[in-house]
A and B are shown apart, each in its own frame.
Chain A
């Protein structure tokens, strides 16, 4: 779906053209290596896609392992370039960033976990993740909130899309103490970026057949800042007469989301509200463990979870839910035009959830991450023999 977006389509074509063509060395799937002999392996895709992988902090590495295990079992032609970057573990130097950027320039597509932003002020106000987002200009964060069949919540059959501008707004990292004990924090809203994200939202709605785009704001209080955002959205909306455009104040939006989320279709908003609504909407369908998310710039696509948390309490306990990351990996495969493999992974994950036998703790079960991955692997269309 992402590949069809105007602007990113061209970039994708560039990215895929740059991918090296390998003759994939196939791994025979027979039970014992000694049995395979000189048997010719079945035909394989003749190119592997290289994707940058950034496991991040907390349970990120575990979730990446889950993705790798599922990809291996499904024989998916994707190779990962791994980068272990962490701000809290002092692995976030400029050199690491440089190497990561080089990898991104050649691969164009990445899958990543959350790079935890520490709360202590160590001198630099801008977190590493924000720096990465700004450097790659990943201006659009898209979270598709869909109810999982088989896991019922208060509101079922939800299908919302939340589009968040993620390079400016309240996360501009511009703060100062003008007078001791008085901090001024600048929220930056620009016409250019507001128009850009609005256009992205309307393009997305057009391409995916959506009917309404609602801008979320607090322009009654932040008259100039959110006012500019609202005005930019309205200006762009005029170019899309077939798509309905509305706007709603952020506090009312949150209330409406918990009372009647069905009234919304695509939501577009600045940075902070996006963070809040992403989390709220994730809670509506099952929590941060089940919602995939992706970030786009004109040249890159980064796949991650929708609600981004390092889940520090879960590290090493094998309890994290890999659903969100696996669904995001499936979206990544679709972006790479590996539609067949994408469906294979997402259907396997959804089947496991629907069956309800293997559920991680956040969904009320007692299974481990490993159990869930195992169940997904068993449900893939070509289970390993």
Chain B
């Protein structure tokens, strides 16, 4: 418990004074209240399953959360962990962000960092600008339109 780093968030009522260090030992209380105090977490299977879903919920859900499964000798499988969404399959409505960012993780794993950075920036900028978004992110665009926009940005960044 004494190894938990100080929170660096700030309370609006107290101006910019840093928050005092967390007073409890539970990662679940802390993650919900101030996830910024954590960096890399390592844990056994069940806790990882639970905590990764919890954290996905904090950033927008499984539609935008990438993941990778790393084995020995560089063997790895990168995947999005959301469901198969049979109700919107084949309708050009799905949000490709999760799989795309998983692809970015894959590029990093392969050492292709520059390409990874470009695609990630393009993807984040598209989402940030909010003009071309899929339905689950609050927009009206199709999957192909969202993808085209990201491709355009990637080419602009080249």
Contact = CB atoms under 8 A, between A and B. Distances in A.
A255 B28 contact: no
Interface stretch (B29-37, B107-115, B130-138): B29-37
Interface stretch (A48-56, A95-103, A159-167, A275-283): A275-283
Nearest to B10: A364
Contacts of A125: none
B87 to A, nearest CB: 17
Contacts of A213: none
Given A283-B30, A283-B31, A283-B33, A313 B14 contact: no
A284 B26 CA distance: 13
A257 B53 CA distance: 11
A252 B29 contact: no
Given A276-B28, A289-B23, 5 more contacts: A250-B49, A259-B61, A279-B26, A319-B23, A364-B11
A248 B38 CA distance: 27
Contacts of A208: none
Interface in B47-104: 49-54, 56-58, 61-62
A248 to B, nearest CB: 11
A287 interface: yes
Contacts of A364: 11, 13-14, 19
Interface string A353-365: 0000000011010
B46 interface: yes
A251 to B, nearest CB: 4
A255 B57 contact: yes
A314 B62 contact: no
Given A309-B25, A364-B19, A254 B53 contact: yes
Nearest to A272: B46
Interface residues of A, number: 31
A277 to B, nearest CB: 8
A256 interface: yes
A307 interface: yes
A277 B60 CA distance: 20
Nearest to A278: B28
A309 B57 CA distance: 25
A307 B56 contact: no
Contact of B53 (A252, A283, A312): A252
A83 interface: no
B24 interface: yes
Interface residue tally on B, bucketed by range: 20 to 34
Interface residues of B, dominant DSSP: helix
A283 B32 contact: yes
Contacts of B19: 364
Contact of B23 (A218, A252, A361): A361
Contact of A280 (B13, B14, B23, B54): B54
Contacts of B16: none
22 contacts: A218-B46, A218-B49, A250-B49, A254-B54, A255-B53, A258-B54, A259-B57, A276-B28, A280-B54, A283-B32, A284-B32, A287-B23, A288-B29, A289-B23, A309-B25, A311-B24, A312-B1, A313-B2, A313-B23, A364-B13, A364-B14, A364-B19
A236 interface: no
A279 B31 CA distance: 10
A215 interface: no
Contacts of B29: 279-280, 282-283, 287-288, 307
B23 A256 contact: no
Contacts of A319: 23
Contacts of B62: 255
A305 to B, nearest CB: 11
Contacts of B14: 364
A336 interface: no
Nearest to A356: B13
A241 B24 CA distance: 40
Contacts of B32: 258, 280, 283-284
B24 A287 contact: yes
A312 B22 CA distance: 11
B139 interface: no
Given A258-B32, A258-B58, A276 B23 contact: no
A309 B24 contact: yes
Interface string B126-149: 000000000000000000000000
A320 interface: yes
Nearest to B58: A258
A254 B25 contact: no
Contacts of A272: 46
B21 interface: yes
Nearest to B33: A283
Contact of B50 (A276, A307, A309): A276
A181 to B, nearest CB: 15
B12 to A, nearest CB: 9
Name, among A255, A272, A284, the residue most crowded by chain B CB atoms within 10 Å (CB to CB). A255
